[in-house]
Structure 1
């Protein structure tokens, strides 16, 4: 189906002017240069990825001339949409001074001060270059502080590419094991068995089972790693009961509690953890705190963070990085986060509430077995009648996965970029107009796919 946006643009442009088929030609060249023709799998589409030409606000225009509303926001990394004027100005000024030095910069101190001021649990902070690196550094700091090797994580949760952090994120019914004893399932072929043995997998939002599993390793665990709104688990909030249980267990057993807020820091002024009566020992951050540039950070308890202190007689965790705290990222991040003040956080979260309500209304109108989950400025549409409660509930059957892909394609073809799990994130530059239009396009898509949805509904047998 051709996008209405595409049709509108094509009325004023000939095929040669819009660069028709240019994406296909570029992809053929890319295939000869990169595995799969890309450096990140998330950009792939059939028959070929589209290539961006420009973006501004909440809109992205591809090289074919089609403009779409961006609910992907570079996988939740853009809190103010694209090319925000204030961020562009700050970055441009910094680039004229230099992009990176083997010297410290005042920009790093300014940004560290700002982020620490947003959360009382952030005594100290260090910057890195990605969310993966931030989580990895938290795990290594936990090991250095406790002297223990094992880590515990939630089944299905995504925490980046580090061998230990990625365990179980692609587990399936064929290999995930018993619910009371989930298997440590590798993602990449060749993952060392030793790495798998050092990862303890716990079920999400199930305190009794989680604590029973942790108790079996209480003298071996360096930390428990938790995402408070894990995307791969279904974008379901961690229950207060679950988080408190983990906090109490770690305190009682000499382990650390680590929150992965690489994505969820957008949901509160001091992160999603603002919504819980718990302070973690370490927090990993990334994505939107970079203002559109590569970034990561870990912050937390001063005593724990001190394992990275190079001024100590013995440095337990030597830590550095060529582009860590580069001034371009620092000024972009500081500018973005100053703009994302308490009022902006409240306003965006309220907008998220309105959008999820609209989606629920649309699902009811279409009368299909679907639901929406999420909190704050994030949402996910499931091809299930009731919201899942954990990774196993959220796992998509082949039929559900096919429907999800069809719905994402429908939205894309009609002007909306989504994350490929039918998830989306809001940016501060979006308006209710974009949300209402999304609801209209979503309703049309659900109605078109209704015959396929009907196949998901449980059948009833009438007996005399």
Structure 2
């Protein structure tokens, strides 16, 4: 159940969240403003957050492994961010003119990412991906893109192609089909998208060569979260880079989610040297943000002193001082030592979950890296989207697992990456592992 059929009947005793959802159904098409809002069976409305925990409107305190889809790397109410934002709000929330704060955040980010020279701020990850692709087109003069099957890159028609195929329509392994996300997508959009399978070295190399004369960029996620949070095989990214250089195609790395993988980002972690890197989420400290960073030669499409831009780009709230200050406070606190501490906790939780799986004989598997992890209802960790795709029975099992965590006051994303925050400690990690052990130890978890 998801929408209207999930609402309790009128006259029955209900929680404050259920009451609010009824109100939401009177003003929003499906009751909320985001399709990603999970319902169990109705959404849980939040009162406030403190550190690693959320408090719902009914007074329940829950450990947050979602952190607004990996955005809040410091958890909730991080004092350096709240102090900086409160101070700025007294001075003004946004202006048509630039502020010094955008320069400070830009210098911080450029100082950490080894392959980029210039940066441009926008308002969301989706917007950043959209303008990064437009920049690649403007630079190369070509319309097409290649993208990894099943990976998520926001709500732009071209990167939605191939995002949500199923066994019934995604086509043969050697030639994945460009499946639109929704009905009515212009056929011309699909014609300019080449779908590659993650970790398929020979197949991806062949398909890039076939479409090379029309490809402006290859869009990658160094560890595609929505496609399984799987690690790259040795040689896969090397092949992509060699193919890109051979045919004059740009490498566009989407690190909106995976920039949290290390002090220098995910591309540096996996030895990739992209032409453009797209950022978001953690760099805004909990406020709306996106960024396009790239080589100076490429970034000139946005303009240069005394030159008309090849690609005009603006935005009313781009580089607003609130997001800039919040992002600077959050990222300044993410020192190399803090990234290391988060990674140590991530390794500990993945080892603990894997040990619990070994104890029951392998109904599940674990993927992830740094502060990210994902539980799969499969005995073998997937290496690409088609292996990570869940059958109805597997999806039902994961829903029960998510509900088990929920009933133990832990918010575990269903079918997405779970993440840790700097606000967590060893006690929180032990609690995550123990909750999973409790579920996995059931003699027949399929019927749990």
Normalising by the smaller structure, the TM-score range is: over 0.9
Matched with 1:4 is: none
Could you tell me which runs of 5 or more consecutive residues in structure 1 were left unpaired when the two chains were aligned. 1-18, 455-464
CA contact (8 A) 1:310 1:318 kept: no
Matched with 2:203 is: 209
CA distance in 1, matches of 2:49, 2:140: 46
CA deviations 1:345-397 (Å, max 9, x no partner) are: 11111110111000001112233411110011100000000101111111101
Matched with 2:372 is: 378
Matched with 1:23 is: 17
Matched with 2:52 is: 58
CA contact (8 A) 1:139 1:223 kept: yes
Matched with 1:401 is: 395
CA contact (8 A) 1:369 1:453 kept: no
TM-score, normalising length from structure 2? 0.95
CA distance in 2, matches of 1:141, 1:34: 35
CA deviations 1:64-87 (Å, max 9, x no partner) are: 110000000000000000001111
Helix, strand or coil: the match of 1:280? coil
| Selected match of 1:292 from 286, 289, 300 | 286
Helix, strand or coil: the match of 1:164? helix
CA distance in 2, matches of 1:433, 1:278: 35
Pairwise mapping of residues 43-82 of structure 1 onto structure 2 (< 5 A)?
Answer: 43-82=37-76
Matched with 2:300 is: 306
Matched with 2:360 is: 366
Deviates most, 411-420 or 207-216? 411-420
| Selected match of 1:357 from 347, 351, 367 | 351
| Selected match of 2:98 from 88, 100, 104 | 104
Helix, strand or coil: the match of 1:285? strand
Residues 1:453 and 1:226: Cα distance change in structure 2 (over 3 Å): farther
1:182 aligns with 2:176: yes
Helix, strand or coil: the match of 1:380? strand
Deviates most, 418-427 or 372-381? 418-427
Pairwise mapping of residues 59-458 of structure 1 onto structure 2 (< 5 A)?
Answer: 59-309=53-303, 311=305, 313-421=307-415, 423-448=417-442, 450-452=444-446
CA contact (8 A) 1:20 1:64 kept: no
The runs of 4+ residues in structure 1 deviating greater than 6 Å are none
CA deviations 1:147-168 (Å, max 9, x no partner) are: 0000000011110000001111
Residues 1:423 and 1:193: Cα distance change in structure 2 (over 3 Å): same
CA deviations 1:88-125 (Å, max 9, x no partner) are: 11111111111100111000011111110001212000
CA contact (8 A) 1:408 1:422 kept: no
| Structure 1 residue 311, shift from structure 2 partner | 4.0
Helix, strand or coil: the match of 1:269? coil
Helix, strand or coil: the match of 1:349? helix
Could you tell me which runs of 5 or more consecutive residues in structure 2 were left unpaired when the two chains were aligned. 1-12
TM-score, normalising length from structure 1? 0.92
CA distance in 1, matches of 2:447, 2:227: 22
Say how many residue pairs are matched: 436
| Structure 1 residue 449, shift from structure 2 partner | 7.1
CA distance in 2, matches of 1:441, 1:278: 37
Helix, strand or coil: the match of 1:65? coil
CA distance in 2, matches of 1:300, 1:235: 25
